[in-house]
Amino acid sequence: MLSQSTIDIVKSTAPLIAEAGPSLTAHFYDRMFKHHPELKDVFNITHQETGSQREALFNAVYGYASNIDNIEVLLPVVEKIAQKHTSFSITAEQYQIVGTHLLATIDELMSPGQAVLDAWAEAYGLLANIFINREEEIYQQTEQQVGGWRGTREFKVIEKTPESNVITSFVLEPVDGQPVINYQPGQYIGVYLNSDKLEFQEIRQYSLSDAPNGQTYRISVKREDQGVASNYLHSHVNVGDSVQLAPPAGDFFLTTQSNTPIALISAGVGLTPMLSILESIKSTHQAPIHWLHAADNTERHGFKDRIADLAQTTAHLNQYSWYKESSSNEADFSGLMDLSQIQDDINWQETDFYLCGPVVFMQHVAKQLIALKVAEAQIHYECFGPHKVL
């Protein structure tokens, strides 16, 4: 436990962290990469360039400082980050590197004095140990299950299928021919890409897009305009090629009982974890399932035919689609997703809602759900990339 003096010092310096803003984490990352360039093979450099990772770290540091006397409120965030870290194969030694450069950054930007640095060192040490211990638990739990492993494992592509003009699916089979660990529908898998066509090793988390089968994994990847990894997968990874995978992870997955209605709400490639959930429960869920999806147009609507087939064969599945660019009858509705258009079709207070898509889309939907008097505890969501609070 932290001493009261440490708690007081860290809380008192939280306003200094807020004043520094993301410039603090920008300085931290620049400093750390200068001393440890090998970590560019771990961190998503694109997120560094856009600033999203720096903003996420700043929010985490400030949130920790503000709640240093009530760490329990941070545990859900700790779990989310710990799950993500295991897909990066983060080690205890890397926490030491981060701590060294975080303290050096605080010293160089703020010159707060040794007492403040000592307090932050103690506070960081406590938080690092929480992460290290939780991540070790996840590593051990995963490798001890049937088909589980620690670190990375070689898989080969056995199918590559276009799902829209921007989304392609890859079915991956382990090279060793052994079973693979099952996963919770909604979770993701870490994909490690190494090639002379890439400046650094690229590690990405892609949602698993099918029901678990114990033998293979499927990911469905959107080609992003500036996406280093997604463009490499689309253009250079073909049937017969190999990639390294970390085991499935993630804290976003179906938790709803089969007698409770659910709504799976997505936009764009955000449908991938929703599809995994739907494929896993289509024959067992007893209550209504509502599939709500938004796409730019029919060409970008991934798995359109598959969802239509499921809607025909699954009596309690209701599907609704919105096309942003459609003015015809290609989709059920045109424009942005407007829940008032189906207000009478869903029991809003009795349904659990699962959201995935661009943050601005999820904020748009969450605002409507709250207006419909849906309790926040009924709303679950997944962000692709650094986590943001809706």
- 280 belongs to an annotated ligand binding site: no
Spot the catalytic one: 29, 62, 95, 232.
95
Does 205 show up as a binding residue in the annotation? yes
Angstrom distance (rounded) from CA 238 to CA 260: 41
Q: Is 268 annotated as a binding residue?
A: yes
Say if residue 328 carries a ligand binding annotation.
Answer: no
In what order do the strands lie in the sheet containing 262-267? Answer: 333-334, 317-323, 289-295, 262-267, 352-356, 379-382
Flag whether 217 is marked binding. no
Q: Is 269 annotated as a binding residue?
A: yes
Residue 323 falls in the annotated catalytic set: no
The residue whose two tokens read 């991934």 is 302
Say whether 19 is catalytic. Answer: no
- Known binding residue 150? Answer is no
**Residue 273 counted as an annotated binding residue:** yes
**384 labelled ligand-binding:** yes
Which residue is catalytic, options 29, 124, 135, 279? 135
Structure tokens, 315: 């009596």
Q: Confirm whether residue 300 is marked as ligand binding.
A: no
Q: Is 383 annotated as belonging to a binding site?
A: yes
Annotation: binding site: 85, 188, 204-207, 268-273, 383-386
Annotation: binding site for NADP(+): 268-273
Annotation: binding site for FAD: 188, 204-207, 383-386
Positions annotated as catalytic residues are 95, 135
Annotation: binding site for heme b: 85
